[in-house]
Chain A
Amino acid sequence: MTPQRTTEQLAAQAGTTACAPLGETHLTGEQFGELMGGTTETASAELAQAEAHLLVCEQCAIELASLREAISLFREASNAYADEELRSRPRWILPARRSHSQSLVPAYWVAAAAMFLTALLPLQVMRWHTLAPPAASVSSVAVSNAASDTQSDEALLEDVNSEISRSVPASMQALADPTADASTVNNETSVPTTDQRKD
């Protein structure tokens, strides 16, 4: 089997005629598309034919390689240009991340707990003031203070009672008995009587 014959057989398998200097048949646009990666069925019959054709047709092989290379350069240049353009632009300002599942729900709980404690604390303090027993060291002082207060209160009450029980207050005693000894009064008060003025 000569190489030329093998080429003819491959061409026949590919559904194209062998590459001859004139009147040759080449890949169709659809086959180029398939070969450029536009197919989903990698084992499709059309793709197999196109690949077989590439083995025997240097022109199509070169053209396909050139097209692939050009499109690859187009992609790389476009991407590099776009990336450079994007870098030269101001960065976006985004809000701080607040994940619903991770931070927002716990925030609700933290806020609720804080409010609960804030409401509970004054109540608890009041309860401590009203119910807490005095400490041992403080109790003796408190008891002695209470006893002295009680004594002073009793003395004050006695004074008040004795004051009330008197028929005439001490300051009004002189007026209580006008017939009492005047000399005594005069001596006591040194106020001249009517008789003395006449003299």
Chain B
Amino acid sequence: MAFEGVQMFPSTSVSLGNEARATPLDDLENVVAMYQPRVFRFLLATLRDHDAAETLTQETFLRAWSARASFREDCSLATWLIRIALNLARDHTRTGRFRFWKRVSASAVDVAEVSAFVPTREGSAEAHLIAKQQVAGIWETVAGLSARQRSIFLLRFMEEMEIPEIATVTGLPLGTVKSHLYRALAIIRAQHDFSPHDTTTHSATTKENQ
């Protein structure tokens, strides 16, 4: 779904009452330039669909702009935008229509495409290949997490948010956030072998810890 040539946002001259106060979102162009990549990344990793991610990214900024008067700056603008994006993604994935199109969508993200972007670091070609396989494996495992675990995992390890910030975004208590995060990590550890390869006893032990 392309949006070229479509004016998505109403003119800011409309509906500005006398009581309107200046907000960071008044300068929409800068806000989009600054936060669009971040919101898009999060939605793409959450939804695994290019078109849906772009549509909801636009929707995120439209909602944010429409509700800019309610932004009290008690959290950062990035946190506020990610919270809107997360709610939109949650609503989107709840619909049966999303599940149907998820199965047949041609714009779904291919794991191989993502793993092709694994940075090349010092090491052998074999090590790079292993790293690509590892990233592809994590990408697929994250897709299999519950919606809440996936969101929290992505917010923590992709967006690099701190736990209190994640609690603000998700509206969950700190303990619940940590609990979901630990479970997500445990699942990833269980499905991938990060232990030293020369030890055989360790894997079994870590499995017991799950």
Contact = CB atoms under 8 A, between A and B. Distances in A.
Contact of A97 (B28, B156, B157, B188): B28
A99 B118 CA distance: 42
A90 B119 contact: no
A82 B12 contact: no
Contacts of A76: 117-119
Contacts of B54: 89
Contact of A32 (B7, B10, B189): B189
B41 A79 contact: yes
Contacts of A40: 162-164, 174
A179 to B, nearest CB: 100
Contact of A82 (B44, B156, B178, B188): B44
A86 B36 contact: yes
Contacts of B7: 93, 95
Interface stretch (B77-85, B89-97, B195-203): B195-203
Contacts, number: 174
Contacts of B174: 40
Nearest to A72: B157
A76 B189 CA distance: 19
Interface in B56-105: 58
Nearest to A71: B157
Main secondary structure of the interface of B (DSSP, over half): helix
A73 B158 CA distance: 10
B139 A39 contact: no
User: What interface size band does chain B fall in?
Assistant: 35 or more
B29 interface: yes
B122 interface: no
Contacts of B157: 36, 71, 74-75
B182 A85 contact: no
B80 to A, nearest CB: 19
Contacts of A185: none
A163 interface: no
Given A70-B138, A80-B117, A86-B37, A98 B11 contact: yes
Nearest to A82: B41
A75 B158 contact: yes
B169 interface: no
18 contacts: A29-B209, A32-B186, A33-B181, A33-B185, A36-B157, A40-B164, A59-B196, A67-B185, A67-B194, A71-B138, A79-B158, A82-B45, A84-B117, A86-B36, A92-B58, A93-B6, A98-B11, A100-B20
Given A22-B201, A90-B3, A100-B20, 16 more contacts: A33-B182, A38-B156, A38-B185, A40-B174, A63-B196, A70-B194, A73-B131, A86-B36, A89-B2, A92-B36, A93-B3, A95-B9, A97-B26, A97-B28, A98-B13, A104-B16
